[in-house]
Amino acid sequence: MNVSLIGLGDMGHDIARHVVAGGFTVTGFDVDPERRNAAAALGVDVQNTLAGAVAHAKVHIVMVATDEQSEQVTREILEEGVAGSVIVITATNGPKTMQTLAKACRERGFGFVDAPVCFGRVGAREGTLASLCGGSDADIETIRPVLDCYSRAVHHIGPVGAGQIGKACNNMMHWAHCVANYEVLLLAKRYGINAQRMREVLLECPAENGTLRRWDSTRFTWHEKDMDLALDMAQAGDIPMPLFGQVDQLVKRLDKEMVKELLHGPEADYLGWHLTALPPEKGGLN
């Protein structure tokens, strides 16, 4: 089976590597020539145009960022690809965008699946992403062997758009954990307990969560986009979510350097406060 991969950045590069290792013929395209060169070194048949990359593929993996980019690439594949092939959107986009694109694909005889991924950069590098899929049984069975190359699990959640709903649910829990983890470890640090040691202890307690376990690799690269998308979906669905309204505001004030300093540095910052451990005479444990 021939597979095209559109978008050869950090995530796409590693996904391409795993799909090539899985024995598939992979053609690729990216607007960045350096990314194209890097993918060529993996054994990807890199093309200088999107049209060249998708011309003979049965499955098209689209690893771009925004709804607008997903729309643009999908429209180009419909013009240049082969009817009967399946387009797979791996980006975190809106479910309505997915439904609109799926309709356009059906009208042209193409399959369509939204399959955003979890576990981020580390998961892509290790080939242990989780693919959350929305689409028909037939389309997902067609693409499953390809997704299995880079996924620890391929979850069929429901019809087109369901993959994006599933990704939003995961993201909401992830960012809520980010805020809770930071505040909890900040409390420990304030009273003189080593925050990294407290983290290690909590990983052996009921408070353990996947975000805390992967805390060192959380990059805070998409939290603004992810939370905005989730809250837009809540508003469109007329669902009150006061907790996540607060999480939305708080997580946007965190970054990986703050987490690094909290876990391994002598001090920490949060919401404008610069915090050090309390001395014993003021309630600290040191």
CATH number, domain of 171, equals 1.10.1040.10
Write the pLDDT tens digit of every residue in 122-135: 999 999 999 999 99
Which residue in 265, 167, 156 sits closest to 225, CA to CA? 167
Write the pLDDT tens digit of every residue in 128-155: 999 999 999 999 999 999 999 999 999 9
pLDDT of residue 77 exceeding 70: yes
Mean pLDDT within 37-56: 97
User: 218 and 147, same structural domain?
Assistant: no
- Confidence at residue 280, expressed as pLDDT on a 0 to 100 scale: 82
Note if the pTM is more than 0.85.
yes
Pseudo-torsion of CA 58, 154, 93, 100, nearest 10°? Answer: 50
User: 202 and 129, same structural domain?
Assistant: no
With b for 16 or more beta-carbon neighbours within 10 A and e for fewer, the 174-190 pattern comes to bbbbbbbbbebbbebbb
Q: Please name the amino acid found at residue 26.
A: V
User: 145 and 7, same structural domain?
Assistant: yes
User: 101 and 134, same structural domain?
Assistant: yes
Which residue in 186, 178, 263, 274 sits closest to 221, CA to CA? 178
pLDDT category at 213 given cuts 50, 70, 90 is very high
Write the pLDDT tens digit of every residue in 156-209: 999 999 999 999 999 999 999 999 999 999 999 999 999 999 999 999 999 999
User: 178 and 140, same structural domain?
Assistant: no
User: 111 and 37, same structural domain?
Assistant: yes
Mean pLDDT within 13-40: 97
Mean pLDDT within 17-42: 97
Mean pLDDT within 56-68: 97
- Confidence at residue 286, expressed as pLDDT on a 0 to 100 scale: 65
More confident of the two residues 42 and 277? 42
- Confidence at residue 224, expressed as pLDDT on a 0 to 100 scale: 83
Last residue of a domain, one of 160, 179, 199: 160
pLDDT above 70 covers a percentage of the chain that reads: 100
- Confidence at residue 240, expressed as pLDDT on a 0 to 100 scale: 95
pLDDT of residue 3 exceeding 70: yes
Write the pLDDT tens digit of every residue in 243-266: 999 999 999 999 999 999 999 999
Last residue of a domain, one of 160, 175, 191: 160
pLDDT category at 285 given cuts 50, 70, 90 is confident
Last residue of a domain, one of 100, 131, 160: 160
- Confidence at residue 256, expressed as pLDDT on a 0 to 100 scale: 93
CATH number of residue 35's parent domain: 3.40.50.720
Check the CA dihedral 82-88-89-94 and report its sign: positive
- Confidence at residue 170, expressed as pLDDT on a 0 to 100 scale: 95
User: 250 and 169, same structural domain?
Assistant: yes
Find the domain containing 270 and state its range. 165-282
Give the chain's domain count.
2
Mean pLDDT within 17-40: 97
pLDDT of residue 219 exceeding 70: yes
Residues belonging to the chain: 286
